[in-house]
């Protein structure tokens, strides 16, 4: 679905922040609090983009990403990792798992929205207002 973004995040504060920012600029969000639920929601709803936390209960974000990227039905959905991991080795792991990009938490609002827009498929960008005002 156009403009539909799946947020996979177990921290309620982060989840609320990401949801509010995305909805304010016109996206619709669906949310999962663990990796397995994220995989299920992605398969059922075909979002335009997935924001994926890495440290998650039940199934972590790396494993969930690997599953989605090895499934023909979901492999073309861009996955942006939202991570508090800062080490270079961790970034490599995130990209190797199949994430298309990553953003460090805590996020800067402008950078967050700009990065989300950059990873959305082109046809979705039309009509979404970035940066408020």
Q: Which residues bind Mn ion (CB under 5 A)?
A: 10, 53, 55
- Shortest separation between residue 55's beta carbon and Mn ion, angstroms: 4
Strand arrangement of the beta sheet that strand 4-8 belongs to: 28-32, 4-8, 49-53, 79-83, 101-104
CB 53 to Mn ion: min, Å: 4
Q: What is the number of the residue whose Cβ is closest to Mn ion?
A: 55
Closest approach of Mn ion to the CB of residue 121, in Å: 26
- Closest to Mn ion by CB, 64 or 120: 64
Count helices and strands in the chain by DSSP H and E runs: 6, 5
């Amino acid at each position: 679905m156009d403009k539909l973004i799946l947020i996979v995040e177990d921290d309620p504060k982060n989840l609320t922040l990401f949801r509010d920012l995305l909805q304010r600029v016109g996206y619709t969000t669906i949310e999962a609090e663990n990796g397995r639920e994220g995989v299920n929601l992605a398969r059922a709803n075909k979002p335009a983009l997935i924001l994926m936390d890495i440290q998650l209960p039940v199934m972590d974000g790396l494993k969930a990403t690997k599953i989605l990227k090895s499934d023909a039905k979901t492999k073309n959905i861009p996955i942006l990792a939202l991570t508090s991991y800062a080490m270079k080795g961790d970034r490599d792991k995130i990209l190797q798992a199949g994430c298309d990009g990553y953003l460090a938490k805590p996020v800067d609002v402008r950078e967050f929205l700009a990065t989300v827009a950059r990873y959305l498929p082109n046809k979705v960008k039309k009509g979404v207002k970035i940066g408020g005002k």
